[in-house]
Amino acid sequence: MTIIAAADGSALGNPGPAGWAWYVDDSCWAAGGWKHATNNQGELKAVLELFRATAHLDDDLLVLCDSQYVINSVTKWMRGWKAKGWRKADGKAVLNLDLLQELDEALAGRTYRFEWVKGHANHPLNEAADSRARAVSEAFQRNSPINPGPGWVRPGDAPSPARRSLSTPATRPAASTAAPSAPKPPAGPKHPELFAFDDEPARSHTVSLALSADEHARLSRRALGLGVSVEELLRGLI
């Protein structure tokens, strides 16, 4: 089976408030972004997150992309850049190095193909990805919440390990059939006056964590994909 998905980026001002999105259908897509980035960074991030979202699958991946920069980077230039220590033919450092290195890692072992589509030409999947990436850019411009999308949600997919661990009830030991022996009374303290204080009541603790907008979007998307709240997802890690 081949998964067909579109990936697109957006930047208002380029650089400026930026977004990225990948899209399969209305029930399977994701988006995110930054307060300040370039359009090329959004394009790369969209492809990177698509490969990450499908890393647990064995299906081939057809990526529809309107960015020649992204397609050429992946299919033509990346191998040479990597061989030269991530430098271009003129010796200058490659731009967007962090995203390209992460993408290079995500591509390892995958079967994929890129297909160029003309942007803003009424291609259904491209238009859907573009509108979601732009919506994130505009949300950052207005300083309003973003919609990260449902993430990878496809019929028949096995739940992720995190979801299984959160949804599986804790195993309890089997009840013993033997009659319990009478408990022995606890020995009192040798000097009871030294222990004449009330037990300290159990207290809850509040933990604060500062997240970037992109980190918060990824966390929210994972929680949505697992069918739990962000708080439940974090507690499941303890």
**Residue positions annotated with a catalytic role:** 8-9, 43, 66, 120, 130
Residue 109: both structure tokens together: 């072992």
Copy the structure tokens of residue 88. 């271009």
Q: Quick check: 222 and 162 in contact, CB under 8 A?
A: yes
Asked if 42 and 133 touch (Cβ cutoff 8 Å), the reply is yes
Q: Which has the closest alpha carbon to 63: 78, 40, 46, 80?
A: 46
d(CA 161, CA 56): 11
Alpha carbons 106 and 59: distance in angstroms, whole number: 15
The three-point CA angle 217-221-226 to 5° equals 150
- Token readout for 93 is 């450092």
